[in-house]
Amino acid sequence: MLKYVARRILQMIPVFFGVTVILFILRAPGVLPGDPIEMLTGDRVISEVTYNQLVQKHGLDQPLYVQYVTYMKNLFKGDLGLSYKKNRSVTEIFVEKYPYTLRLALAAILIEMIVGLSVGIISAVKRYSFWDVAVTLSTSILVSLPVFWLGMLMQVLFGIYFKRWGLPYLPISGMGNPPDLAHLIMPAITLASVSTAYVARIMRSQMIDVSQQDYIRTAEAKGLKGGAVVRKHALKNALIPVVTFIGIDLGAMLAGAILTETVFNWPGIGYEIYLAITARDWPIVTGGVVIVVIAYMIINLLVDVSYAFLDPRIRYGGEAA
């Protein structure tokens, strides 16, 4: 197992370099339209001297490969460079923003697991009941709704109309100062919505599939109660593919949720990276993607390792066949 983990970590190195190289190629003049310094100064007319000072300050006068080497050297010291537009350390920006993204992602994953799994299980156990049909119908609707639109609908209903009707209402924007639970509810539900529907559907079909396996009949033939059969014998087998989905989804959420964060003015890294792209603020874009890639790779590794705990047939590194 340790050998396997070590190998996987080594495999991350080329991926990591590949991603950063691509990001630097995008910086090369002419690859993408828009000059960072012009985006920075906007409509203001600046002298050539000022322009050159800014170019020098951000190292844009150096050849691209020199910029890359400098960047990588600094990266290993934890320095992600200086934002063109904000004139702040990128590391500092992400240290400040990342907890917000983490907060939203964890809340959404929690909803996805608790609601998605239990709805899927109940649907499978009470197959073809009214409940099951209702779940199948509502999950199909949910997966086809655009996330931002769902967010806006909720804002209008729970934020604006509930307030108008004198009902308890939810804040529609920001994360509160200090951050509180009320501000978290709608963004988390919005971010979790599609995935929750998918988890419920995968869980349902997995449970149905597993419940038709021979070993479930063996468990019943032992005289176990239906509930015990589901809990002990069906669940663990059914969970394996669902864990993959949730893991990959968590990876995606840790990369920031641009749509949800934009709709709810959530100050996470998704929104930050989106703004930086429009401003050609390369240090933020590069730094953001670097963080996202690392987070994604670590989550994927954790998911793969978790298989070994769920399914004894999987053993990494060639121990015990």
Partner 1 sequence: MSTLLEVNGLQTYFDTIDGVLKAVDGVTFSLDRGATLGIVGESGSGKSVTALSIMRLIPMPPGRFAGGDIRYEDRSILEMSAAEVRSLRGNNIAMIFQDPMTSLNPVYRVGKQIGESLRLHKGMSRKSADVRAAELLDVVGIPNASQRAKDYPHQFSGGMRQRAMIAMAVACDPDILIADEPTTALDVTIQAQILDLMIELQQEKDTAIIMITHDLGIVADMVDNVMVMYAGRPVEEGTVDQVFYDPKHPYTWGLLDSLPRYDVDDKGRLIPIEGQPPSLIAVPSGCAFHPRCPYARDVCRAEEPKLSNLGDGHVAACHFAGSSGFVRGSTAGGAA
DSSP-based three-state secondary structure for 125 = helix
Q: Whose Cβ is closer to partner 1: residue 304's or residue 311's?
A: 311
Contact between 125 and partner 1 per CB under 8 A: no
DSSP-based three-state secondary structure for 167 = coil
Phi and psi based region of residue 28 (left: phi greater than 0; alpha: psi -120 to 50; beta: remaining):
beta
Minimum CB separation of residue 298 from partner 1 in Å reads: 26
Contact between 58 and partner 1 per CB under 8 A: no
Closest to 200 in 3D by CA, of 254, 257, 238: 238
Q: Whose Cβ is closer to partner 1: residue 146's or residue 317's?
A: 317
Give the footprint of partner 1 on residues 285-314 (CB under 8 A). Answer: 310-313
Question: Which of the stretches 37-45, 116-124, 154-162, 218-226 binds partner 1 when contact is defined by CB under 8 A?
Answer: 218-226
How many residues make contact with partner 1 (CB under 8 A)? 22
Contact between 231 and partner 1 per CB under 8 A: no
Question: Which of the stretches 60-68, 113-121, 211-219, 257-265 binds partner 1 when contact is defined by CB under 8 A?
Answer: 211-219
Question: Which of the stretches 12-20, 142-150, 175-183, 216-224 binds partner 1 when contact is defined by CB under 8 A?
Answer: 216-224
Burial zone of 224 (CB within 10 Å; 0-12 exposed, 13-18 middle, 19+ buried): middle
Burial zone of 243 (CB within 10 Å; 0-12 exposed, 13-18 middle, 19+ buried): middle
Q: Which residue has the tokens 């909720």?
A: 154
Of 17, 65, 161, 215, which lies in the binding site for partner 1, with binding defined by CB under 8 A? 215
Minimum CB separation of residue 102 from partner 1 in Å reads: 31
Q: What sign has the CA pseudo-torsion 3, 9, 15, 17?
A: negative
Question: Which of the stretches 6-14, 20-28, 143-151, 228-236 binds partner 1 when contact is defined by CB under 8 A?
Answer: 228-236
Minimum CB separation of residue 216 from partner 1 in Å reads: 8
For the record, the structure tokens of 250 come out as 């968590």
Give yes or no for a cis peptide into 33 (omega within 30° of 0).
no
Question: Which of the stretches 73-81, 134-142, 210-218, 291-299 binds partner 1 when contact is defined by CB under 8 A?
Answer: 210-218
CA distance 139 to 304: 27
Contact between 206 and partner 1 per CB under 8 A: no
Contact between 126 and partner 1 per CB under 8 A: no
Contact between 129 and partner 1 per CB under 8 A: no
Give the footprint of partner 1 on residues 234-273 (CB under 8 A). Answer: 236-237
H helix and E strand count, the chain: 16, 0
Contact between 319 and partner 1 per CB under 8 A: no
Give the footprint of partner 1 on residues 154-183 (CB under 8 A). Answer: none
CA distance 297 to 174: 29
DSSP class of residue 86 equals: T
For the record, the structure tokens of 245 come out as 């989905």
The residues of the shown chain that bind partner 1, judged by CB under 8 A, are: 213-215, 217-225, 232-233, 236-237, 310-313, 320-321
